[in-house]
């Protein structure tokens, strides 16, 4: 998988933050694979672009799973990171996703409320009964945007909570695993090892300027999302 980072992936940049349209192959933060992560690649980019000596700050505000594409916010200062973390904590950063599924949702539009239990060893979350020890409430709203001639459905998903693998687990729980997501029950992988989940839009208040911000990320080139455009 590629660890390259291109300036064309930059959706927005100022003195306080940088927003990237992540490719499915890229990891946001270092993990056990030892592969180069976006945080380190952005540090290198900032160091070279602005000719900065010494260490460069790049704070991870939130994460996307490796096979997922789309918008990720990074902070360029500790002040911006702290303020954005507060927004995350109080659910003030709105994230909207696109997901492609093969099975028709039970309803064209609905709010799903489930309880998810994370299995650390399997790196997977399961939908369980309310009251299960260790389970956390997970809420999302989805609506069907389109259906392709090949029988795929494009869903728009608004997260109201931020649980581990929440969209993947909840959509699979209602019988609609995301295309390519073997871990959550889709029968075949995508050729590039991605899953068809894309962080399409992010909305928040700028941590320093205090202005409302809204950004949209193009879907990956050559992906199934393009058949819906």
- Give the DSSP H/E element, type plus range, for residue 100: strand 94-101
Residues 6+ apart with CB under 8 A from 7: 45
Catalytic residue among 31, 65, 114, 218: 65
User: How big is the CA angle at 98 (ends 89 and 137), to the nearest 5 degrees?
Assistant: 40
Cα 14 to its chain centre, rounded Å, is 22
Q: Are 71 and 21 in contact (CB under 8 A)?
A: yes
31 as an active site residue: the answer is: no
User: How big is the CA angle at 135 (ends 74 and 167), to the nearest 5 degrees?
Assistant: 50
Q: Are 96 and 160 in contact (CB under 8 A)?
A: no
User: How big is the CA angle at 75 (ends 78 and 211), to the nearest 5 degrees?
Assistant: 100
User: How big is the CA angle at 168 (ends 191 and 214), to the nearest 5 degrees?
Assistant: 95
* Residues identified as active-site: 65
């Amino acid at each position: 998988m590629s660890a390259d980072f291109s300036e064309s992936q930059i959706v927005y940049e100022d003195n306080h933050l940088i927003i990237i349209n992540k490719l499915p192959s890229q990891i946001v933060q270092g993990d056990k694979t030892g592969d180069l992560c976006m945080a380190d690649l952005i540090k290198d980019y900032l160091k070279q672009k602005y000719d900065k000596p010494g260490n460069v700050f790049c704070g991870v505000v939130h994460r996307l799973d490796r096979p997922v594409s789309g918008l990720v916010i990074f902070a360029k200062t500790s002040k911006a990171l702290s303020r954005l973390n507060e927004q995350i904590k109080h659910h003030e950063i709105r994230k909207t996703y696109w997901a492609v599924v093969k099975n028709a949702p039970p309803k064209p539009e609905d709010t799903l409320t489930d309880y998810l239990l994370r299995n650390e060893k399997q790196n997977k979350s399961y939908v369980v009964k309310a009251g299960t020890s260790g389970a956390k409430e997970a809420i999302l709203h989805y609506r069907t945007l389109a259906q392709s001639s090949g029988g795929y459905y494009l869903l728009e998903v608004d997260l109201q909570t931020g649980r581990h693998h929440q969209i993947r687990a909840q959509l699979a729980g209602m019988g609609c695993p995301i295309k390519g997501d073997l871990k959550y029950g889709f029968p075949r992988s995508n050729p590039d090892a991605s899953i068809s989940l894309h962080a399409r839009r992010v909305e928040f208040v700028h941590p320093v300027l205090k202005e409302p911000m809204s950004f949209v990320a193009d879907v990956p080139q050559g992906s199934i999302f393009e058949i819906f455009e």
